[in-house]
Structure 1
Amino acid sequence: MLMATARQQQQQQQHGVSPPSGSSSEHKKKEIYRYSAPWPLYGMSWSVRPDRRFRIAVGSFIEDYSNKVQIVQLDEEQGHFCLRSVFDHPYPTTKIQWIPDQTGSQADLLATSGDYLRIWRVSNNEARQECLLNNNKSSEYCAPLTSFDWNETDINILGTSSIDTTCTIWELQTGQVIGRVQGNVKTQLIAHDKEVHDIAFTRAGGGRNLFASVGSDGSVRMFDLRSLEHSTILYEDPQQLPLLRLSWNKQDHNYLATFAMEKSEVIILDVRVPSVPVARLGNHRAPINGITWAPHSSCHVCTAADDHQALIWDIQQMPRPIDVPILAYSADGEINQVQWPVSQPDWIAICYKNNLEILRV
């Protein structure tokens, strides 16, 4: 089902989450499902556990100290989302991520960033905080965390990025399903000259050691945990505009995508040819907020922006110009999050206003 036709189905189903009349087989034919939260949404993460299909965590964006995280799950028989759990989170979540455990053999953990990095254990649809990771215990001041990433190769490693120009690599002792989770600082490094906005590990080289970061100095920098005294500048924005997010290609680890603040263009980089973008994706009509690569294809990437659009691009013609996306979806508001889950590659999730939507692609 093409995303371009999902808009037509949305018009037919004004409230998305309401199941149509008829049998459960009709429910499963829907191409779009919506969950509406009681507040604006920002953080979002799709669980990869095989025993938790269509389970998504979403975080509120409220400008006070009373934010929430909800865990919702699609009831595939009834055809709508059900609220499974909700817990308090002081500041808005700058990022949410489930443990990247595709076997379901580890403890069911969820991480959130904001003022600190917090690890939560989910059991019987209840979430409790396992630990709060703070590497500045000598001061009451904490530099807010802009983002983090959970290492898929070694799930005991997480990396955080902060407005204080640093990245911190954390080492967890997750133990087994029973037992408390603890975390220690593995290393901290000054990654940029200004605020660091995002960090992401890559499987390049077949290991767990490489990650990249982007920041307000307009650069993409790559690091190796085995020699952190050196870094490689993969790209610098010609106007030194802040770079807000980065995302690694999940199938071809030579490629990554990033975009600058208030810009409507996504830049595709090839680590083998640093400094010069190999492609520019420029069909959005407003600032971009999110990027995500297809989990099952090396040449498809999805972008989302303030123009209410989620666009899927086919970049296999690089380095020839990529002029138009192959699929498009228009939401009813500015899209601030987009994910293409490893566990459900036929679906994409977006957040706008107070809505979470999943779209069949």
Structure 2
Amino acid sequence: LQGDVGWFKLYPATFPWLSFKYGFSQVQLVGLDEESSEFICRNTFDHPYPTTKLMWIPDTKGVYPDLLATSGDYLRVWRVGETETRLECLLNNNKNSDFCAPLTSFDWNEVDPYLLGTSSIDTTCTIWGLETGQVLGRVNLVSGHVKTQMFDLRHLEHSTIIYEDPQHHPLLRLCWNKQDPNYLATMAMDGMEVVILDVRVPCTPVARLNNHRACVNGIAWAPHSSCHICTAADDHQALIWDIQQMPRAIEDPILAYTAEGEINNVQWASTQPDWIAICYNNCLEILRV
């Protein structure tokens, strides 16, 4: 399953699962039957380009429609119904060209769900307004960028450098602590280490998590705790860490799970925090913490 998985924010047993078939891709919405411990496919729809990320609208109170965003060639927002899923809008910031710069990832603003931010292989980060479908801001980064920078949406021309990899390796993922916004985690491409950063102390990691024995592919902060984080890697392991003793060194994880293949993604359920989803090979598994 070389794609992405994302938990539905409101109903803990519903989340999308990406599947590929013969040159095109599909997104499956599956639920978990707790009595039989079996997955149930609730909906399937075609996606014109392999997705790099899937994410439900951050709506724990059920105020908004059931919207699912996907990134690939463009950013698409889908309206999910009981029996069908239809495209709500397609956000394209290069309408004057027949070519697109595929998106590598995106994130949905949890404070204001009408804002989404995307990153692209053309080294731009774009802020979108969901209501208008218009670009609200854009940041152009230098090719080969190896830094973590923090921008203020009100003044995108200025930024603060939070971290730079000592070996100047590109940074693969970035994940913000859901309970304490002072902390974020990042990792370098092909790296076996996850770095914990404090935005109040730029350029100085407060912790390094380095028990993996192969490339780290995924990181997920606990939705209910500011001091727990899960990491997943090519060594088949998903590790949960307790970082509350920072800045003292974090030697070992508190929990570990070994899968039957290289884990390429991990997500922690926000409404049922004792569930973690992982992807490896062509499999999706739910782990109970």
TM-score, normalized by length of structure 2?
A: 0.97
- CA shift for structure 1 position 134: 0.3
Partner of 1:116: 74
1:140-179 CA distances to partner (integer Å, 9 max, x unpaired)?
Answer: 1110100000000000000000011111100012xxxxxx
* Unpaired stretches in structure 2, ≥5 consecutive residues: none
Structure 2 residue 103 is matched with structure 1 residue 153: no
Structure 2 residue 44 is matched with structure 1 residue 86: yes
RMSD of aligned alpha carbons: 1.3
Aligned equivalents of 1:232 and 1:134: distance in 2?
28
Identity value in percent: 66
SS state of the match for residue 142, structure 1?
A: coil
CA 1:160–1:78 in structure 2 vs 1: closer, same or farther (change >3 Å)?
same
For residue 191 of structure 2, the aligned residue among 259, 263, 268 is 263
Structure 2 residue 138 is matched with structure 1 residue 188: yes
* Unpaired stretches in structure 1, ≥5 consecutive residues: 1-39, 174-181, 195-215
Partner of 1:56: 15
Report the number of matched residues: 289
Say whether the 8 Å CA contact 1:287–1:305 is kept in structure 2.
yes
By relative contact order (CA 8 Å, sep 6+), the higher-ranking structure is 1
Equivalent positions of 1:1-361 (< 5 A) are 40-49=1-10, 52-60=11-19, 64=23, 66-173=24-131, 183-190=133-140, 192-194=141-143, 216-361=144-289
Aligned equivalents of 1:76 and 1:126: distance in 2?
24
Moved more, 322-331 or 84-93: 84-93
- CA shift for structure 1 position 343: 0.9
Aligned equivalents of 1:305 and 1:62: distance in 2?
25
Radius of gyration: which is bigger?
1
- CA shift for structure 1 position 306: 0.3
Say whether the 8 Å CA contact 2:138–2:156 is kept in structure 1.
no
| Alignment-mate amino acid for residue 94 of structure 2 | N
- CA shift for structure 1 position 279: 0.6
Higher strand fraction (1 or 2): 2
Moved more, 70-79 or 264-273: 70-79
Say whether the 8 Å CA contact 1:60–1:92 is kept in structure 2.
no
Say whether the 8 Å CA contact 1:289–1:306 is kept in structure 2.
yes
1:171-227 CA distances to partner (integer Å, 9 max, x unpaired)?
Answer: 012xxxxxxxx521112221x212xxxxxxxxxxxxxxxxxxxxx421101011111
| Alignment-mate amino acid for residue 187 of structure 1 | G
- CA shift for structure 1 position 127: 0.8
Partner of 1:3: none
1:240-259 CA distances to partner (integer Å, 9 max, x unpaired)?
Answer: 10001011111111110000
TM-score, normalized by length of structure 1?
A: 0.78
